[in-house]
Structure 1
């Protein structure tokens, strides 16, 4: 009895050193992914690539890193693999070395494939580490983890300016050092994770795992499908702003390219702040409540954005990015608690498949802008946060197996 009490206490304890370490790993992993779009201008000039070939590079990265995540997650749910974390980083190391010395387009694609594979392997197991290390603060823990990834992605413009402009394609070689640091950090995390799995296995032998009834399973599938749709909608809105709003500013307000970047940076930095703030709010006020507020609460700002005078754009862009991102980590935690025995697959479905496919929606949005006008695209995007009303039909927050 005393042992069970101790195990329960440990299950509710937040392990901050592990959370910080896996967040650093997430930063390094996503920073290496950010190397690829940062390299686009260099590769386009040095290899004389067409925009179609650039598109294929982006497609290869997105397809590999996103679509494989739920598949890897399903495998690791059945066969937890702590040392997939450093192995994934090793694949990214090989990809970085390949990018630095790639002689042609096909070699670039192969290198990008390795980086995408490394990312697909890292994310499901990384999310499971966060799940175990979170204790009772799941939302806050997921925020720490996701802020690492968001920061890594946001470094892309700095990579272009500080690394690839002076060093060219060979500048990618510097990121093999980043990968080596990541391998060391993640190896230590894997050791802790391996011990945690042994404890979990021992606890399961002492207790029993209840089977989910068919009716309950149908409710879970419905809720997960709705959750993925909501992530699609918010991701498409974010892609519309991130990829095309700068062109709208240049065309509609006659601002310079440099000035337009400021508005985009404000949107992205607001998103990073919102991601960090949102986790503790979800822990306090409920995940479904925060998702409803975040998605639907963005709508007034999104709907007004295409029509505002320039002086109002900066604060509204900040508020839209901040409120939209409050639920970034909460979607992942909610999916994990829907599928407590399939944490890796749940994380892969939200972080990988849903967010990845949402990002690929930028191709569709670009076609809309080409066929109609940028203003038409911005107006159409502004209605996407209204889908947040569907959050009301999600089930109320459930406690996971670790909380019981």
Structure 2
């Protein structure tokens, strides 16, 4: 069916484009996830402490956050459909540099390059997912983000199967992932003009029918963005405690080997991939506000139990926690887009940037806690973070026209 969107009662959702976007997101986040997945190898090879591990994460996350809102604002005014290809070039150089890094400084520079690559990738890719969604924004963001979450989950698997047995230089093999993503992004860029024209026509039709987005008051926008930022911080701080320190927690408390701990981290991250897709789909049906409430505050009883569970229940609880908590991100992102519907690039850059920056700050803080009081203390403190979900009470109840 190729009827123009302006004359169609149901806006067309470009599933093929969304799936290719999800694949590029998978490859991008796979390469990112290799950084924390390689921490046990780097810790042993360079005699790093937990503060230094946290600083690696913070360097990567800050590099991946600072540029994103700026790039988003620029591309809102001057769309750059091939900018994600440039971002992938930075990621490629960072992966090769990390594979052959001979010092702690070289590691920091390498992860910064990977972070910069991600900061260039996300704003324009988020815009394309928005354009390709038609009238199914939750589904579109869910598909796009499930690619990223799946890529993040695969990092520990590749670490266990390749990086641990073959060592740090094996990271260079993943340059193939960057090259593959570049080819896919060239095709995505070539489709943007056509799909963005459909999106503009869809919004024009909605406006004619009285269904266009309302203009929100500046105070409403400000309160909404602040609350969403605080909710994002609580979610990311808890998630970062797993990405950076979960393998050490499992090895210290339960005596697991590095490969076994990495596989448990994979299961945890895989739950996020499922959760983010479910959250996007359900959010289309019941609204973003309810999903945010459920996903941020809902895991609290489980997080309080986790530090006292045995190995089996630790695995069960971590999957359930991440399944629920991960469902928030699609709704937070779309909620922000509905506050500022004409600033897609800015919102994509800001909130993916927040994912990086806030996670990096949390990692540095938690690294200090782990060094001073032990890694188990990290999980006792983090168990209270879902209480921040009460902040959802202050979110403006914006009109969600779907």
TM-score of the superposed pair, with normalisation by structure 2 = 0.85
Give the conservation status (yes or no) of the 8 Å contact 1:231–1:358: no
The structure-2 alpha-carbon separation of the partners of 1:386 and 1:33, relative to structure 1 and needing over 3 Å to count, comes to same
The structure-2 alpha-carbon separation of the partners of 1:45 and 1:324, relative to structure 1 and needing over 3 Å to count, comes to closer
The structure-2 alpha-carbon separation of the partners of 1:370 and 1:278, relative to structure 1 and needing over 3 Å to count, comes to same
The structure-2 alpha-carbon separation of the partners of 1:264 and 1:198, relative to structure 1 and needing over 3 Å to count, comes to closer
Partner of 2:233: 232
The structure-2 alpha-carbon separation of the partners of 1:79 and 1:10, relative to structure 1 and needing over 3 Å to count, comes to farther
**SS at structure 1 position matched to 2:135:** coil
Partner of 2:181: 182
Separation in 1, partners of 2:361, 2:37: 18
Give 1:114 shift.
2.7
Residues 348-391 of structure 1: CA deviation (Å, up to 9, x unaligned): 22222245313430221232344445554333222111221221
Give 1:347 shift.
1.7
Give 1:227 shift.
0.4
Unaligned runs of 5+ in 2: none
Give the conservation status (yes or no) of the 8 Å contact 1:296–1:387: yes
Does 2:256 match 1:256?
Answer: yes
Give 1:344 shift.
1.5
The structure-2 alpha-carbon separation of the partners of 1:55 and 1:250, relative to structure 1 and needing over 3 Å to count, comes to closer
Partner of 1:367: 368
Separation in 2, partners of 1:9, 1:100: 51
Separation in 2, partners of 1:244, 1:76: 36
Give the alignment of 1:277-292 within 5 angstroms: 277-292=278-293
**SS at structure 1 position matched to 2:81:** coil
Give the conservation status (yes or no) of the 8 Å contact 2:62–2:360: no
Give 1:238 shift.
2.0
Partner of 1:34: 33
Let me know the Cα RMSD of the aligned residues: 3.3
Structure ranking higher on relative contact order (CA contacts 8 Å, 6+ apart) = 2
Comparing 129-138 and 320-329, the one that deviates more = 320-329
Unaligned runs of 5+ in 1: none
Separation in 1, partners of 2:102, 2:173: 18
Does 2:28 match 1:21?
Answer: no
The structure-2 alpha-carbon separation of the partners of 1:216 and 1:65, relative to structure 1 and needing over 3 Å to count, comes to same
**SS at structure 1 position matched to 2:217:** helix
Give 1:69 shift.
1.3
The structure-2 alpha-carbon separation of the partners of 1:95 and 1:379, relative to structure 1 and needing over 3 Å to count, comes to closer
**SS at structure 2 position matched to 1:302:** helix
Separation in 1, partners of 2:273, 2:285: 20
Does 2:95 match 1:96?
Answer: yes
Separation in 1, partners of 2:181, 2:66: 23
Residues 280-300 of structure 1: CA deviation (Å, up to 9, x unaligned): 111111111111111121112
Separation in 1, partners of 2:273, 2:145: 9
Give the conservation status (yes or no) of the 8 Å contact 2:5–2:12: no
Partner of 1:75: 74
Residues 142-196 of structure 1: CA deviation (Å, up to 9, x unaligned): 1111111112122222333333345544433322322221111101100111333
Comparing 52-61 and 26-35, the one that deviates more = 52-61
Give the conservation status (yes or no) of the 8 Å contact 1:14–1:136: yes
TM-score of the superposed pair, with normalisation by structure 1 = 0.85
Separation in 1, partners of 2:196, 2:35: 34
Comparing 137-146 and 66-75, the one that deviates more = 66-75
Separation in 2, partners of 1:391, 1:154: 28
